[in-house]
């Protein structure tokens, strides 16, 4: 062989990554890992798009950084227990099991804590559109992300006044809002003309064209770029010494991996014992009604603040919902909550057509401080955690995918992830 001759080098095998959970956070993690050059397998028992985010309002709620816990919330708990028709309900049977979580939740109701959480969340939500841009650019459908802002309406001016402090905090963090009167609401949303005189316009929020279709399109893009999506239930993480070697499904099938990402929403809890994590993750039910032929046209996603739900126009119909219920682990859905939503919506819009309506529920993975976990496992250095996004899974899917991929690749993420550590819930003695 002369010096000019060369031997063909065997291709270096790609490192393998397995993402557990095929919802919006999981598929975004898979897409970002794929962009980094990993061979990615995405595993979920449900069909693409059939996840918690399907039954959401579909908003890119970039300014929704204020936690659910607010001053005075303790006084509202008796009402939640007594009034099961309210925007937020607490099943009496759920109270014993959820009490430790609730105490942590109430501890976040201080003004100083709310400001701290909002500042932490803003470090993520300011990057939402930039992080989604490359993922959406690879999808053939360029209408997946809508261009119109989101509207919030109130029954009385006191609704806006009640939110004044939090609106000022959002403004200080760089998020926009504009007060709307009756004329402005009617111009923006003719379906609500004469119905409301007080509202807000969130000009930096957007809504997707269809929650199910959005996730399905991203999943299809992942597959077309060489990714593998497997329908199955992960039973355990396989381990060798202090590292994960892959996962095993309930049917015994095994998938080897150099890296494992747990992004299964409330389903992530099943891995906590093996991972040694003590994270108070709760599933809070959010109910929706889909009207395929509503007979009423909406131009924007509209939040009805006093009703506790949202009108979300989508390609598959008008979705109405968002009401929250603390129901307890493994509780059966109470679709009377969806009927309550529909009853309230018809009082506003009597012409709503209910033919072929479909009810749905999504269990939002909430942590007491309403911040997600975006972290590396303390036990396995090659297992990464991406769950607990609450009502912001759709909003933060791509940003979480980018940050997880930075960690997998050994880079220091641009954002400080200390506020999103799984370890933030540990107390002295290791009890969460």
The 10s digit of each residue's pLDDT in 21-53 is: 999 999 999 999 999 999 999 999 999 999 889
**How long a stretch of residues is the chain?**
432
Predicted confidence at residue 95, as pLDDT, reads: 81
CATH of domain 14-64+112-143+210-280+369-432: 3.50.50.60
Predicted confidence at residue 429, as pLDDT, reads: 36
Q: Is residue 336 scored above 90 in pLDDT?
A: no
The 10s digit of each residue's pLDDT in 47-87 is: 999 988 999 999 999 999 999 887 766 666 666 666 666 67
Q: Is residue 12 scored above 60 in pLDDT?
A: no
Q: Is residue 10 scored above 60 in pLDDT?
A: no
Q: Is 101 helix (H, G, I), strand (E, B) or coil?
A: helix
Percentage of residues in the chain with pLDDT exceeding 70? 92
List residues bridging with 59 in a β-sheet: 207
Predicted confidence at residue 430, as pLDDT, reads: 35
pTM, 2 dp: 0.93
The 10s digit of each residue's pLDDT in 100-142 is: 898 898 889 889 999 999 999 999 999 999 999 999 999 999 9
- What is the C-alpha separation between 400 and 374, in angstroms, rounded? 7
* CA distances, 84 to each of 218, 289, 385 (Å): 37, 18, 34
- What is the C-alpha separation between 35 and 45, in angstroms, rounded? 24
Residue spans of the domains in the chain: they are 14-64+112-143+210-280+369-432
How would you write 316-380 as a 3-class SS string? CEEEEEEEEEECCCCCCCCCHHHHHHHHHHHHHCCCCCCCCCEEEEEEEEECCCCCCEEEECCCC
* CA distances, 146 to each of 135, 236, 312 (Å): 15, 39, 12
Average pLDDT estimate for 268-289:
94
The string over 192-228, giving b where at least 16 C-beta atoms fall within 10 Å of a residue's C-beta and e elsewhere, is: beebbbbbbbbebbbbbbbbbbbbbbbbbbbeeeebe
């Amino acid at each position: 062989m002369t010096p000019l001759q060369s031997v063909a080098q065997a291709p270096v095998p790609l490192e393998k990554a397995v993402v557990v959970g095929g919802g919006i956070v999981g598929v975004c993690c898979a897409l970002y890992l794929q962009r980094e050059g990993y061979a990615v397998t995405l595993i979920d028992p449900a069909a693409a798009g059939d996840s918690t985010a399907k039954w959401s309002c579909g908003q890119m709620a970039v300014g929704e950084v204020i936690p659910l816990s607010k001053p005075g919330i303790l006084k509202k708990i008796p009402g939640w227990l007594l009034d099961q028709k309210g925007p937020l309900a607490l099943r009496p049977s759920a109270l014993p099991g959820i009490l430790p979580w609730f105490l942590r939740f109430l501890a976040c109701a201080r003004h100083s804590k709310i400001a701290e959480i909002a500042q932490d969340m803003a470090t993520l939500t300011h990057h939402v559109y930039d992080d989604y841009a490359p993922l959406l650019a690879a999808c053939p459908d360029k209408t997946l992300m809508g261009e119109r802002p989101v509207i919030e309406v109130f029954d009385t001016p006191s609704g806006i006044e009640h939110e004044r402090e939090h609106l000022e905090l959002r403004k200080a963090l760089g998020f926009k809002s504009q007060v709307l009167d009756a004329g402005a609401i009617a111009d923006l949303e003719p379906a609500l003309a004469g119905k409301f005189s007080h509202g807000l316009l969130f000009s930096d929020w957007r809504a997707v064209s269809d929650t199910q279709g959005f996730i399905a399109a991203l999943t299809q893009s992942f597959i077309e770029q060489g990714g593998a999506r497997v329908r199955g239930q992960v039973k355990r993480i396989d381990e060798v010494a202090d590292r994960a070697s892959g996962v095993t499904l309930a049917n015994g099938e095994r998938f080897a991996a150099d890296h494992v990402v747990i992004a299964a929403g409330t389903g992530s809890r099943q891995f906590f014992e093996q991972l040694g994590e003590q994270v108070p993750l709760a599933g809070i039910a959010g109910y929706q009604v889909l009207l395929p032929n509503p007979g009423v046209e909406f131009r924007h996603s509209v939040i009805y603040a006093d009703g506790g739900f949202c009108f979300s126009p989508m390609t598959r119909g008008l979705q109405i919902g968002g009401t929250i219920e603390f129901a307890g682990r493994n509780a059966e859905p109470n679709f009377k909550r969806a009927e309550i939503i529909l009853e309230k919506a018809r009082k506003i819009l009597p012409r709503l057509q209910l033919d072929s309506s479909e009810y749905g529920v999504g269990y939002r993975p909430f942590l007491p401080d309403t911040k997600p976990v975006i972290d590396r496992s303390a036990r396995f250095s090659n297992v990464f955690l991406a769950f607990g996004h609450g009502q912001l899974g759709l909003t933060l899917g791509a940003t979480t995918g980018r940050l997880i991929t930075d960690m997998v690749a050994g880079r220091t993420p641009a954002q400080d992830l200390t506020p999103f550590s799984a370890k933030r819930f540990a107390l002295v003695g290791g009890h969460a």
